[in-house]
């Protein structure tokens, strides 16, 4: 193929890993980002979103476009698509930016969700509590990530406090609190020709609302895989989607409930760089570029561990035989994702030993459970 350039809205670690996957295919990337000293800067031209003519420059910089975060301004996408193509499509982005639209789409496609109500006033919050019962999770309909923009309402005395904290957003959603056993995510890719491929389910574990680690294949989930694949395929085809899409799901006694979708490559799919034949990043680039998709088969069971807040010693991580280290070139900050470690153990005993070692290497608050379940 002739040399191609893909423009990416955003220049964080997801853009960085997309660009890393693009280089072997002789595909260049440019980035539209406020911080020109971003993680992606070493891999391509960064055009400042703060410049008056930045969007115009960015539009000229590439042949086709994509994004690394779902809060990409729709106004920018609308201007760009007057002359260029973006994948995933605008419709998917608009729905993912609004939890009420998202839940409505899940309902339309018969993808189960927890009962919910739209909230736009203190009175409607009180009505939602009456309709749904307690506890409920109150969330801003737009914005919010990694646990931000949320309030878990456990008793009626908290109604005024919850409204005071989140009411300024004007548009909120109240969801019944799902008693779930665990959270899993299904990641899939759809090509421009409509072909769909899915990766194995990941089981996700969080710490203070931030993804701590993912296990693939998700333990005891063979019966869930085809159901999750059916749900995400409905979404992909309905949206005429191109690229990687992620669907987060709660596993409950009553079955799986959809939590939210992300129209992009996803933290819970980082394992695929070492753990799958073709990673989420490479397949996303392939889809956006109009190339055939690669196999999503898992090579071996894999654990992905996020590095959060502070860096470990590189030599300590690399001393672990099956560890692969990915650093994002970001400064340390509380709650910030700085990198990830992928473990590809050959046995449960090796996994136990490596989790034990990692719990000493990483900050204590993010120590792993050395009795982690994994199917090897």
Q: Which residues are annotated as a binding site for ATP?
A: 99, 139, 144-150, 175-178, 183, 206, 259-260
Residue 160 CA neighbour count, 13 Å, CB half? 1
Looking up tokens 């070139």 gives 329
Task: List the binding residues.
Answer: 99, 139, 144-150, 175-178, 183, 206, 259-260
139: its two tokens: 């969330």
List the one residue out of 234, 237, 230 whose CA is nearest residue 201: 230
Vertex 259 angle, CA 263 and 369, to 5°: 100
What contacts 319, CB < 8 A, 6 or more positions away? none
- Whole-angstrom CA distances from 141 to 33, 71, 337 are 24, 12, 24
Residue 94 CA neighbour count, 13 Å, CB half? 11
């Amino acid at each position: 193929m002739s040399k191609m350039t893909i423009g990416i809205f955003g220049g964080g670690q997801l853009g960085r890993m997309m660009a890393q996957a693009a280089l072997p295919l002789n595909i260049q990337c440019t980035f539209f980002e406020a911080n020109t000293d971003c993680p992606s800067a070493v891999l391509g031209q960064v055009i400042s979103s703060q410049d008056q003519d930045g969007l115009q420059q960015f539009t000229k910089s590439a042949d086709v476009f994509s994004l690394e975060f779902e809060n990409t301004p729709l106004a920018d996408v609308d201007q760009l698509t007057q002359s260029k193509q973006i994948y995933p499509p605008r419709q998917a982005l608009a729905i993912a930016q609004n939890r009420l639209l998202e839940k409505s789409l899940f309902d339309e496609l018969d993808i189960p969700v927890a009962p919910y109500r739209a909230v736009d006033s203190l009175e409607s919050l009180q009505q939602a509590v009456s309709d749904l019962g307690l506890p409920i999770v109150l969330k801003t309909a737009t914005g919010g990530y990694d646990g931000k923009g949320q309030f878990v309402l456990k008793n009626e005395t908290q109604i005024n406090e919850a409204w005071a904290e989140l009411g300024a957003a004007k548009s909120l959603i109240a969801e019944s609190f799902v008693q779930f056993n665990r959270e899993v995510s299904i990641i899939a890719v759809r090509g421009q020709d409509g072909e769909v491929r899915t990766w194995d389910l990941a089981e996700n574990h969080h710490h203070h609302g931030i993804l701590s680690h993912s296990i693939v294949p998700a333990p005891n989930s063979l019966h869930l895989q085809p159901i999750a694949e059916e749900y995400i395929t409905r979404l992909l085809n309905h949206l005429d989607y191109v690229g990687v899409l992620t669907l987060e799901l709660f596993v409950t006694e009553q079955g799986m409930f959809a939590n939210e979708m992300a129209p992009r490559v996803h933290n819970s799919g980082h394992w695929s760089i070492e753990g799958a034949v073709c990673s989420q990043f490479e397949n996303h680039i392939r889809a956006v570029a109009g190339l055939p998709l690669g196999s999503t088969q898992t090579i071996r069971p894999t654990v992905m561990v996020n590095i959060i807040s502070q860096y470990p010693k590189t030599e300590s991580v690399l001393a672990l035989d099956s560890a692969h280290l990915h650093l994002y070139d970001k400064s340390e900050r509380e709650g910030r994702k700085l990198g990830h470690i992928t473990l590809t153990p050959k046995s449960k005993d090796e996994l136990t030993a490596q989790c034990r070692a990692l719990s000493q290497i990483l900050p204590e608050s993010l120590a792993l459970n050395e009795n982690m379940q994994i199917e090897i």
